[in-house]
Amino acid sequence: MTTTMTGVARMMTSALAGSANLAGQQSIEASIMDDIQKVQMIDSNLTHHKVNLETACLSPSVVLANNIEAEPNELHDDVTRIINTDDDDLAVVTYSFENPQIGVTQEHRVIELNPNFAAHCYDTK
């Protein structure tokens, strides 16, 4: 009987620890999803009417990245966000974090954005 109770106690302890890890991961994932929505909203609002196309078209991804970075960052403390603008036409936003679940280490979420206004940078005549 004691062995059975000890086994049940161990399973419950493991379940509680797993539940706490899952809650931590869900909090991180929710933070990233909120930030992705915010980044997409910034891009959507950054129209050709709101930028100087003559200068913005020199490097659209840098203009978008600067506008994203100008907004307050409300990410979970365990998440880092890096915006890569090596490609002038594409901003690559990478979110990195340590997964709180056992056996999983560094995780990344990546989105690629072509700036909304960039379509007006090209002459199709």
What pLDDT sits at residue 3? Answer: 60
pLDDT of 8 over the 60 cut: no
pLDDT of 19 over the 70 cut: no
Task: Find out whether 34 and 73 touch, Cβ atoms under 8 Å.
Answer: no
What pLDDT sits at residue 9? Answer: 56
What are the tens digits of pLDDT across the range 26-81?
899 999 999 999 999 999 999 999 999 999 999 999 999 999 999 998 999 999 99
DSSP symbol at 90: E
What pLDDT sits at residue 123? Answer: 77
| CA-closest candidate to residue 75, choices 109, 44, 33, 123 | 33
What pLDDT sits at residue 24? Answer: 80
Output the CA torsion sign for 68, 69, 73, 79. Answer: positive
pLDDT of 86 over the 90 cut: yes
What pLDDT sits at residue 23? Answer: 79
What are the tens digits of pLDDT across the range 107-117?
999 999 999 99
